[in-house]
Amino acid sequence: MRFSGALLAAAFSGLAAAAPTQACSLASGYRVPTNLELVDRADAIVLARVEDGGPWVMPNYTPDPSDPPLAKARLVPVAVLKGKALPGEIRFDDAILANAKIKATASDPRNLVDANPDAFFGGCNRYFFDKGMMLVVFLRREGNQMVADGSPFARTLEDVPSADALWVKAVKVYVKIAALPRQARRKEMTHQRDMLASEIEDADSRLLALELTRALGEKRD
């Protein structure tokens, strides 16, 4: 789903909450991928830092002269969570740096279930980011490029406060599980859940155990 001029105009007008799905077209029968499904199908997962990618221009969109100029959000890989090597570049069309009028919503660092609220703005995905944000980015290979996964309403572009944040820990657990044959995954998930649940004095471990309990109850074909 490409970002549209109408959605950008809504963002400048502060109407994000009023247009949650108006421009989002989903395939029939679409289901938001589970966290394990996202990890399993990703060709790579990285931590990436948001940097200024230069002026942002949309064809056939004329900005209001009173609006602040737009800048691209460039995702710079800094660490590998899944994959053999750090990709040199991430392609993410239409990622925009937040400014005085367009705001980026930070992800809830203790939420392992819901996608960032900005994913529900109207384009199915998250497009606005603060400079310096650290993101966990799920990547798909397209030819010789690594492209940010644009699965609608999924946790593919969550920002985290640090490299050892709860979501980073969860992704690492799922990477370990996804590396196993499918018939062995449920047993390993249960083992990881029980091990984490025993670490009762660690708040992150308790939440990870709850996440795996939730995942074990998910019904997928």
Run of H or E residues at 136: strand 134-142
Cα maximum dimension of the chain: 59
Beta bridge partners of 148: 139
Q: How many CA atoms lie within 13 A of 202 on its CB side?
A: 12
C-alpha triplet 48, 37, 28: angle, nearest 5°: 110
In a 3-state reduction of DSSP, which class is residue 215?
helix
Query: Euclidean distance between the first and final Cα of the chain, in Å?
Result: 26
- pTM for the model stands at 0.89
Alpha-carbon distance of 31 to 52, in angstroms, equals 33
Q: Which residue has the higher pLDDT, 212 or 66?
A: 212
Least reliable range by pLDDT among 16-25, 47-56, 67-76, 163-172 = 16-25
Q: How many CA atoms lie within 13 A of 204 on its CB side?
A: 10
Q: Nearest Cα to 129, choosing from 155, 94, 168, 78?
A: 94
Beta bridge partners of 159: 135
In sign, the C-alpha dihedral spanning 82, 84, 87, 92 is: negative
Domain residue extents for the chain: 5-162, 180-221
Run of H or E residues at 212: helix 203-216
Residue in the structure block whose two tokens are 């009023």: 18
Alpha-carbon distance of 219 to 54, in angstroms, equals 44
Q: Which residue has the higher pLDDT, 122 or 200?
A: 200
Per-residue pLDDT tens digits for 101-154: 889 999 999 999 999 999 987 778 899 999 999 999 999 999 999 999 999 999
DSSP H helical ranges for 99-202: 166-178, 182-197
Strands (E), the chain: 44-55, 71-82, 90-91, 96-97, 128-129, 134-142, 145-148, 157-160
What percent of the chain has pLDDT above 90? 72
